[in-house]
Amino acid sequence: MGALLEVENVSCFYGDFQALFDVSIEVGEGETVAIIGANGAGKSTLLASVAGLLRAASGQVRFDGALVGQMPAYRRVAAGIALVPEGRRIFPSLTVEENLRIGGHRRRRGPWGLREIYELFPALDVLSGRWGGTLSGGEQQMCAIGRALMGNPRLILLDELSLGLAPKVIKAIYATIGVISQQGTTVVLVEQDIGQALAAADRAYCLLEGHVSLHGPTAELTREHVVAAYFGVR
């Protein structure tokens, strides 16, 4: 399995504050990889550096073998990288369908269109004419994922997928990850819910205070190893 995404020794800052310290991860084509860790561990910063929302101070980001670290975010979208940001950030004054259509404005070829999104999330079909700002948190998350998929990305980055959602909604959304992967999209998901993340992913990386504290196939990561890496317990 070839590497679709390679992050090599990336360090990131917010002003004088260093959020990532020489972080390296690799994501194979077709994999689902989880990035876990506590609040402030650097998970969202890592995704932002891949998506182009935050430029790394050092290190390299490669996508399908090409260096993309200096590319602006819109060029990374065109290359096939899509981000579902923390907090969903759909357009509240647009309808569900308008939000989805915006995601497909670059017309990349692939398996995802409106019909396929509505099949993946039947609730959105019913709500297609509703304003984004009137949706529940779970409905907004579905819309945000659908908007990203409309761009037919090769890599989708899901930031804090379950944040603020009811357990029933989380279960329903996680059930779609396998379908997304089967359609050929590589998935990287950031999650605080360790159980959900490890159950959905092929491999996982744990971040602790901006460093990679653990990584490996999820089938080989014991609860003891994960807890130690998550909390920095030795």
Residue 70 domain boundaries: 3-231
Task: Report the alpha-carbon distance of residue 122 to residue 119 in Å, rounded.
Answer: 5
142-172 pLDDT tens trace: 999 999 999 999 999 999 888 888 889 999 9
| Token reading at 214 | 């653990």
pTM score of the predicted model = 0.92
Distance of alpha carbon 200 from its chain centroid, rounded?
A: 13
For 221, residues 6+ apart whose C-beta sits below 8 A from its C-beta are 198, 204, 214
pLDDT at 183: 93
Taking 60 as the threshold, does the pLDDT of residue 1 lie above it? no
CATH code of the domain in which 29 resides: 3.40.50.300
Looking at the 3D structure of the chain, how many domains does it have?
1
Catalogue the E-assigned strands of the chain.
Answer: 3-14, 17-28, 32-36, 58-63, 66-67, 81-84, 155-159, 186-191, 203-208, 211-217
pLDDT at 234: 62
From the CB of residue 223, how many other CB atoms can be counted at a distance below 10 Å?
10
Of the candidates 141, 175, 172, 143, which has an alpha carbon nearest to the alpha carbon of residue 159?
141
> Residue by residue, what is the 3-state secondary structure of 64-105?
CCEECCCCCHHHHHHHCEEEECCCCCCCCCCEHHHHHHHHCC
194-217 pLDDT tens trace: 888 999 999 999 999 999 999 999
